[in-house]
Amino acid sequence: MTDTDDAVDRFLAEAETVFEEYDQGYMNPDVALERLRGHIEDLDEATD
């Protein structure tokens, strides 16, 4: 696996966790969006 593959896999897993926690009522929409933004930034940095 390449570093990009690892970064994408990590992003997808983290994003899925956010969606699951939101669906279960563990976080509000603002927190979910902020966490997703952070994961997107991490993915962007990892794939530069």
Q: What are the tens digits of pLDDT across the range 3-17?
A: 999 999 999 999 999
Q: What pLDDT, on the 0 to 100 scale, is given for residue 17?
A: 98
- Give the model confidence (pLDDT) of 31-45 as tens digits: 999 999 999 999 999
| Confidence band for 48, pLDDT divided at 50, 70 and 90 | confident
H, E, C per residue of the chain: CCHHHHHHHHHHHHHHHHHHHHHCCCCCHHHHHHHHHHHHHHHHHHCC
Domain, as residue range, for 30: 3-46
| Confidence band for 1, pLDDT divided at 50, 70 and 90 | confident
* Number of domains composing the chain: 1
Sign of the alpha-carbon torsion through 16, 17, 18, 21? positive
Q: What pLDDT, on the 0 to 100 scale, is given for residue 13?
A: 98
Q: What pLDDT, on the 0 to 100 scale, is given for residue 43?
A: 96
